[in-house]
Amino acid sequence: MKTTFRIVCLVLSAGWGAVALTAEPVSRREVFDAIAVLEKDVTGDAAPEAAAKVARFGEESPAVLIVIGEETMPWLTDSAPPAETAARAMLTAAYFAGNIKAQLEKRRSQDDPYAGWLFLIKAYRQIQKKQAQFVIPEVEAIAEQEKAGLLRQRADDIRRRDEERERRATVAGTIVDRGVPDFV
């Protein structure tokens, strides 16, 4: 998962050349400013630099946790047409922005895919206003789930499964970390 996140960050940063990965860490104020830029218009001139800052903050800050996976980010696929790479990266930044903003506002480091998806849908519609032919079926499905009132429940189900997996991994890790008892 962390590797996928780093790849996304590199695409956002290198693709737009906006923010070097070795620069000073992005502050909370800077990330809120960057999120505001994306909220206003993900297709604007300032959006690529803002997207790169959001991605860097998501990767570097211990204040937020973003779980990356096929369930939460189905639009990230190796089979996407190369012409859509920049738009899909911007949608990913929008997902990060919504997720990060919700966590910072709640002052709780807990993945919030629902907030990420809401921001994603808004960004997707902004892109479609400029590129009417731009259609990503996976994002359309997310928008339909929100329209049907099912998206929040999907997010809650994913979060519960992720927490359970993490709990099991922690318990298993604790058992492994204890080593073999002396009496064995």
What is the pLDDT at residue 78?
82
* Total domains in the fold of the chain: 1
* Residue burial 66-103, b: 16+ Cβ < 10 Å; e: rest: bbbeeebbebbeeeeeeebebbbbbbbbbbbbbbbbbb
Task: Indicate whether 65 belongs to any domain.
Answer: yes
What is the pLDDT at residue 125?
98
What is the pLDDT at residue 172?
60
Task: Indicate whether 8 belongs to any domain.
Answer: yes
What is the pLDDT at residue 22?
53
Task: Indicate whether 37 belongs to any domain.
Answer: yes
Range of the domain at 151: 2-176
What is the pLDDT at residue 176?
38
Q: What is the mean pLDDT of each run of 10 residues along the chain (184 residues)?
A: 45 48 84 98 97 96 92 90 91 98 96 97 97 95 98 95 84 46 42
Task: Indicate whether 182 belongs to any domain.
Answer: no
Task: Indicate whether 166 belongs to any domain.
Answer: yes
